[in-house]
A and B are shown apart, each in its own frame.
Chain A
Amino acid sequence: MKQNKVKRAGQSIPFQVFVYLWVTAAVIFSFIPLYLTFINSFKNPNEVAFDIWSFPGKGMFSTLMENYSSAWKRVSPYFFKTILVALVGAFGVCLLGSILSYILVFKDFYFKNAIFMLFMAVLLVPSIIGYPTLIPLIRDTFHLGDTYFGYVLPTIGGAQVGAMFLFRTFFQQQPKALYESARIDGANDVEIFFKITVPLSLPILLYYALIIFTNIYNDFLWASLILDKNLTMMPAIFSLVDSGAVQYGEMYALYMISSVPLIITTAISMKYFVSGEFASGMKL
């Protein structure tokens, strides 16, 4: 770069310093909640109330054990169930979304555009407005109130459209020659879907599965409305903390435990996310 004779825009030292400071400060500030959670899960309630900012003092590891074991006792009934529900939801959404976008991308039929518009129009209808009728439908008509199945079914039904929207752009970018040669070899659609489309788009499928997993795991609204005793993690945590049943140190341990599945999904999807690749599908 140095040997370039033309003075490049934005390479002046003060500007670069400004940029570095801005970016670094933003990153540091965004770590505050995580820092607080981590640090305070080592402390007992008194220490937290006395100084929320400082490092824990003596006996932090025994406090840590205490906090985590009692927090775990509170959420362990929901923890694995929530993960299972989120996995089922993620799998369902990706399966339905990929089949749907396969049909809409690779098949030619007369009403293709009309059907595509039918699906797209839903993205503009806010999902929240359906909830007042969705609850009586699930609970009274299907008798699925307070069940995980009744929770996850509308989630899949609603998220398939978003998945289709995203997968569609990726399927369109796949090499056409592969599909043509497969067809010449006499492969049918099911074979093509499982042997070409899915392997080719596995990264985006996996990445979107992780997003759906995270969304279901993070969901509070729908879960708190339809579930009562069989809760998922988020409403469970909220009702525990909001009712004042949990003390300060334990509260932070609770947050740390609840972020374990997200640590895993984050670690897996980090590379893909950081490159900004997936964002190419997010435009109008």
Chain B
Amino acid sequence: MNPLKQKAFPKDKRKLKTTYLLSGFLLLVFLLFSILLAVFTPRVKESKNLEGESYAYLFEGEKGKTYFAGTTDFLEEKEIEDDSKVLELSFKKDLEEKGESLSLLNGSFSGFDFLYSEDQKSLLLFDNVGNLFKYQRKENGFVLSDDYLISQSPLSYRLSTMDNDLLYICAVDNDNGVVIEEYQISNLSQGPIQSKKIWVVDSASGSSYTIKRLEGDTAFWQLSFHSEYLYLTQKNSGIIKINRSLDDYQDISYYEAFDSVYLSVLKESLNALDQKTKEEYGLTEEIIDASSKTQLERYYRQATKKATSSLRKEAKAKFLKENPWCLDYDVSTGRMTIQKDSFDSSNYSIVSRRNCEPVGIIYSSQNDAFYFGDNLDRKVYAIDGRRLDAVKLESGVYLDDLRVDTGISFTNYRFDSNNALFYNQQSNSLYLKFNAKDMTAIITLDGKVKLEKNVKTSFNIRTFVGDKDNRHLHYLADLSVDTWKGSEAATYLYHANSERMVHKGFYSACFWVFFAFALLALLVFLISWIAYLKPSYRKTLGVVKKDVKKNKWVYLALVPFIVLLFLFNYYEAIKSMGLSFFSYTSDKPSYLFNHFGNYIRLLRDKATYQYIGNMLFFLVFDIFLSIVPPVIFAFFLTVMRSKNYSKVMRTLLYIPGIVPGVASMLIWRYSIFGDSGILNRFVTSVLGLERVEFLNNPGIARWSLILMGFPFVGQYIIFYGGLMNIPKDYFEAAEIDGCSLWKRFIHIDLPLLQPQLKYVLVTTILNSVQNYSRTYMLRSAGTTTLSQAMYEGMLAGDYGLAATYAMLIFVFLAAVIVINFRMQKKNYMGGEKA
């Protein structure tokens, strides 16, 4: 051996020793860092499993005491972090003791809402039929106060807001009009101090306003107050501004006024009918007097065979004559045009009408600004509070001119209409919920956005609230877990440190970087260590080192390809494997381990075995039909005497390929197998038989689907190409030997066609098992395969289940392919020996 090389080895060895020691040390350091990062990555923590509690609510509580989670049976006070105590509060029990109100609440305790008044130390509770209860805060719990309110006329929906002792409620009355009510919290039982039906100015022109009544049929989402005004958002109208001192508010009873006029006109006209008609429909004066508007309208239509529109016109003329301040009344839309001096537009108006679909509105006193999300362009806007207060319709200032884009937009998502916004006074920050599982924390300053970060939670958040110091966000999340027993729904209470949550992305990115470094160090360590111990590896290592140095551009150029490969092929397949162990749906995208629930559910389901059976059925026929007839067909093309005819046939055969796959499936579905399709035409008119349900009869459907490949030429062109590439000498030699065509086919063509046969076999197996479109698009009965079940799982958004089906398919295919390769190898080896 060359003495120079011998000398080089100890030097290399020294180098290797330093390398493996250094990389070993780095490995430990990186591992330590990544473990630390993994531990300190901010997480959403489960603070309570509300299993069995059908209703749970979150609301802001006292300072320091933070917030409460309540259900029909308990109320819990949560301190920051984990400390919590259950306060004594049981609505049902308390109400039973009070006795009188129980009947109202019987079984209808489903839609209630909380409000905590720090000022009055009391908890206000609305139930879904319009009752208002007050609980007084005591040392160890809450006591139902005698000062409560049982609603006389159930109002359908309410939102509330409060200011010291005053409580404002927005409700919808029996007539579907929006009513604003003002209460004194300290004296609830006296009833509303004020209660007004709301008419707002819609538009102004010249000396007149068009006003309209607020209708309750469209959802309104949030109510906010600032100085003298209440603001509420409504889907169709936008932002509506109402003066809090409802005293100033002229009680506009135009609507009722018109109604009474209309009613009297209706009654008059009915009374004026001739006696015979009256008797025929049983219309006595008493009945007419006692009937409601809609009943009267019906009588009128029946008796006179005329529409009521003419009566409305008559009533309108009469109404306008009686009320000179009313200039016009649009009977169909309910809009009324009135003289300007009879209404103060700055107090009751719609601020936005154009291009706006606001969700939630929240006032920040620190910034003197309103914030709202707009679902039309998916952005968050801010409005200067003073400017909004100063809006007068005459000045032509609309929301478009007022609103300031905060620079926060979510082009992909809509804001959640339920609890979209939450504002915390203490830290002056705004929280937004969108897409049900993502949140954004926005720290605001002087009305501007200072910091905006995503707080990813990946729970299905029902509602959320922050505590007073605002370090913690609390979520109520609905999750459903698919176990083998079936789907189990549960509600969990989670909390997270919002300030740290916004750095979650940074932490996890750092973790992965350190983890990657650790892996790299591990690799270097292992290689250098082994090379240090084994001289033969040292040589290889030298070659590799040289190669990497020489071909560094090649390796660099390969990086994007390998990234794409891993991102869209390997990562998917491996993650699918993992996903099959979780309940992961598009609605509730949470990685919740469900104890092999997906697998157990599938294996227990009889349908799964039917899917597997169908898959095998199609697989067997697909393999047969993709190999035997096409090979024969290709062979025939080569032995045709006229080469030109063969070429014409091949050309023609390529033409039907212009029909797209989906269209072709649909043609088979409707035009060939359909009720008036050609097969049924043949069956009924030529054979004179009953019509056959080719696709809806489970016994026939699978055979129909097999027939779909007719005339089964398949990928004959691959075989044809293979046959054409066989050297002609072979055939000539065979001919000279007097070999028959059949013998030639068996002994020359087929063996030489083996590479093509293998290719077609493998691709057919892969395609047949994955082919869901055949059974899906033809909507055939009883032919569902595993892949179709998986596809339908994905369409339904149940990705966990779909991944489980995918795993079954994968296991099956892997087995088939491994067996296939094994067999081929064996054949090959056997051939070599012989």
Q: How far is the CA of A277 from the CA of B721 in the complex (A)?
A: 6
Q: How far is the CA of A276 from the CA of B790 in the complex (A)?
A: 36
| Known contacts A10-B741, A284-B762; is-contact A279 B718 (Cβ 8 Å) | yes
| Known contacts A131-B806, A225-B794; is-contact A274 B662 (Cβ 8 Å) | no
Contacts of B654 in A (CB 8 A): 266, 270, 273-274
Task: Give the segment of A60-68, A154-162, A177-185, A201-209 that binds chain B.
Answer: A154-162
Report the minimal beta-carbon distance from B612 to chain A, rounded to whole angstroms: 16
Q: How far is the CA of A137 from the CA of B544 in the complex (A)?
A: 36
Report the minimal beta-carbon distance from A254 to chain B, rounded to whole angstroms: 8
Whether the Cβ atoms of B770 and A52 lie closer than 8 Å is no
A126 within 8 A of B: yes
Q: How far is the CA of A254 from the CA of B770 in the complex (A)?
A: 27
Contacts of B719 in A (CB 8 A): 279
Whether the Cβ atoms of B656 and A137 lie closer than 8 Å is no
Q: How far is the CA of A30 from the CA of B787 in the complex (A)?
A: 27
Whether the Cβ atoms of A19 and B573 lie closer than 8 Å is no
* B636-660 to A contact mask, C-beta < 8 Å, 1/0: 1101110001110111111111111
Whether the Cβ atoms of B565 and A118 lie closer than 8 Å is yes
B412 within 8 A of A: yes
B722 within 8 A of A: yes
B834 within 8 A of A: no
Smallest Cβ-Cβ distance to B632: which chain A residue: A22
Smallest Cβ-Cβ distance to B412: which chain A residue: A143
* A1-19 to B contact mask, C-beta < 8 Å, 1/0: 1000010111100011001
Q: How far is the CA of A263 from the CA of B654 in the complex (A)?
A: 10
| Most A Cβ at <10 Å: residue of B544, B564, B586, B810 | B564
Smallest Cβ-Cβ distance to B435: which chain A residue: A140
B720 within 8 A of A: yes
Whether the Cβ atoms of B656 and A258 lie closer than 8 Å is no
Contacts of B770 in A (CB 8 A): 126-128
Picked from A23, A218, A241, A251, the residue with its CB within 8 Å of the CB of B636 is A23
Report the minimal beta-carbon distance from A63 to chain B, rounded to whole angstroms: 17
Contacts of B55 in A (CB 8 A): none
Picked from A126, A225, A275, the residue with its CB within 8 Å of the CB of B766 is A126
Whether the Cβ atoms of B658 and A125 lie closer than 8 Å is no
| Known contacts A234-B660, A263-B658, A270-B651; is-contact A132 B565 (Cβ 8 Å) | no
Whether the Cβ atoms of A262 and B647 lie closer than 8 Å is no
Tell me which residues from 134 to 170 in chain A have a Cβ below 8 Å from any Cβ of chain B.
134-137, 140, 143, 145, 153-154, 156-158, 160-161
B711 within 8 A of A: yes
Contacts of A32 in B (CB 8 A): 672, 678
| Known contacts A23-B649, A52-B676, A276-B721; is-contact A125 B573 (Cβ 8 Å) | yes
Whether the Cβ atoms of A132 and B544 lie closer than 8 Å is no
Contacts of A259 in B (CB 8 A): 658-660, 663
| Known contacts A8-B735, A110-B547; is-contact A129 B640 (Cβ 8 Å) | no
Smallest Cβ-Cβ distance to B818: which chain A residue: A124
Whether the Cβ atoms of B633 and A53 lie closer than 8 Å is no
Whether the Cβ atoms of A284 and B551 lie closer than 8 Å is no
Whether the Cβ atoms of A134 and B661 lie closer than 8 Å is no
Contacts of B564 in A (CB 8 A): 96, 156-157, 160
Tell me which residues from 109 to 137 in chain A have a Cβ below 8 Å from any Cβ of chain B.
109-111, 115, 118-119, 122, 124-137
| Known contacts A52-B676, A131-B806; is-contact A218 B660 (Cβ 8 Å) | yes
Q: Which secondary structure dominates chain B's binding surface?
A: helix
| Known contacts A29-B710, A100-B561; is-contact A221 B657 (Cβ 8 Å) | no
Whether the Cβ atoms of B649 and A280 lie closer than 8 Å is no
| Most A Cβ at <10 Å: residue of B554, B562, B671, B722 | B671
| Known contacts A30-B656, A52-B681, A234-B661; is-contact A109 B554 (Cβ 8 Å) | yes
A245 within 8 A of B: no
Task: Give the segment of B57-65, B265-273, B345-353, B751-759 that binds chain A.
Answer: B751-759
Smallest Cβ-Cβ distance to A49: which chain B residue: B676
Contacts of B678 in A (CB 8 A): 32, 36, 52-53
A: which residues have CB within 8 A of B? 1, 6, 8-11, 15-16, 19-20, 22-27, 29-34, 36-37, 40, 48-53, 96, 99-100, 103, 107-111, 115, 118-119, 122, 124-137, 140, 143, 145, 153-154, 156-158, 160-161, 217-218, 220-221, 224-225, 233-235, 237-238, 241-242, 248, 251, 254-255, 258-259, 262-263, 266, 270, 273-280, 282-284
Q: What are 26 residue pairs bridging A and B, where the CB atoms are less than 8 Å apart in the complex? A: A1-B641, A19-B639, A22-B636, A33-B656, A33-B664, A34-B658, A37-B667, A52-B681, A103-B558, A107-B554, A109-B554, A125-B573, A130-B572, A130-B573, A132-B576, A134-B568, A153-B568, A154-B568, A157-B567, A160-B564, A220-B662, A259-B658, A259-B663, A273-B717, A274-B654, A276-B721
Please provide the 4 A-B residue pairs with the shortest distance between their CB atoms, ordered closest to farther. A130-B572, A279-B721, A276-B721, A283-B755
Could you list 18 further interchain pairs (A-B, Cβ under 8 angstroms) beyond the known A125-B810, A157-B568, A270-B654? A23-B636, A29-B711, A52-B678, A122-B569, A125-B570, A126-B810, A130-B806, A132-B790, A220-B662, A234-B660, A234-B662, A241-B666, A254-B663, A255-B666, A259-B663, A279-B721, A283-B759, A284-B755
